[in-house]
Amino acid sequence: MRKHAGKSGILKRLSEAEKGPCYLDIEDILDQASTRNIGAIKSALPRLMEHRAYVIRASAVELVGNFKLTEFRSLVEAGLQDRNVHVRCYALMAYYDLLGHRALPLIREYCQEKSIHLRVTAVALCYVITEDETVLKTLKKIVLRRNCDYHHRCVVLSILEHYLEIASRPQLIDMFKAILRISPKRLGISKEITRKLRTWEHGAD
């Protein structure tokens, strides 16, 4: 098991990684964030949100949401305007993490987005908040299309599993079974859904 880096240690490593040529070194360090060292990392978040690599900006805004760093709400709102759609998706999730049900009005607005990347994230979050059958129908309409990008299905799987107990929601299990039936076996999501279905159905017994 990887040991969590202490406050001073992780900040020093982060500063050194920022000077290097590979942004993946920064991402690796951010992946080690914990309640023990997030205090040190917080000081770097504003500049990480300006990083040239969208992966780092996405990781930074994700940390704000994961650790509910409400003092950085302005960074999340800036992330919603980021030039990269993936950062905007992570920012929308972070916005929900910070505001909870109060984020619903904005999330509903994003459910009408032209960008399918943002729209599928928003619809999944909207269902997390409301568990409304109409919202679920909209979500199914997206993920059960034969030509649905498997990345969008992965996003839905990730969001729903992160926020909801799927094992106790047969309507979601049925949706993922339907996705499995139409997903090419060569794609990793088929194996992932098959594995998770065993867990969900066992947990539902």
pLDDT at 105 over 80: yes
Length of the chain: 205
pLDDT at 6 over 70: no
Identify the pLDDT of residue 7.
Answer: 55
Q: pLDDT > 90: what percent of the chain?
A: 80
**Domain boundary assignment for the chain:** 8-102
pLDDT at 40 over 50: yes
Q: pLDDT > 70: what percent of the chain?
A: 95
Identify the pLDDT of residue 135.
Answer: 98
User: Mean pLDDT throughout 148-152?
Assistant: 92
Identify the pLDDT of residue 1.
Answer: 33
Q: Whole-model pTM?
A: 0.90
The string of pLDDT tens digits covering residues 78-100 is 999 999 999 999 999 999 999 99
Q: List CB contacts of 147: < 8 A, sequence separation 6 or more.
A: none
Q: Which two tokens stand for residue 57?
A: 């900006």
The string of pLDDT tens digits covering residues 116-147 is 999 999 999 999 999 999 999 999 999 999 88
The string of pLDDT tens digits covering residues 62-78 is 999 999 999 999 999 99
Q: List CB contacts of 5: < 8 A, sequence separation 6 or more.
A: 13, 29, 32, 37
Identify the pLDDT of residue 3.
Answer: 43
Average confidence score pLDDT of the chain: 92
Cβ contact 27:11 at 8 Å:
no
Identify the pLDDT of residue 2.
Answer: 41
Could you write out the DSSP letters of every residue in 79-124? HTT-SSHHHHHHHHHHHHHHHGGGGHHHHHHHTT-SSHHHHHHHHH
User: Mean pLDDT throughout 176-192?
Assistant: 88
Identify the pLDDT of residue 20.
Answer: 81
Identify the pLDDT of residue 203.
Answer: 60
Q: List CB contacts of 119: < 8 A, sequence separation 6 or more.
A: 110, 111, 112, 113, 142
Look at 22-26, 43-47, 52-56, 170-174 and tell me which has the smallest mean pLDDT.
22-26
Q: How far is CA 150 from CA 106, 200, 201, in A?
A: 26, 21, 23
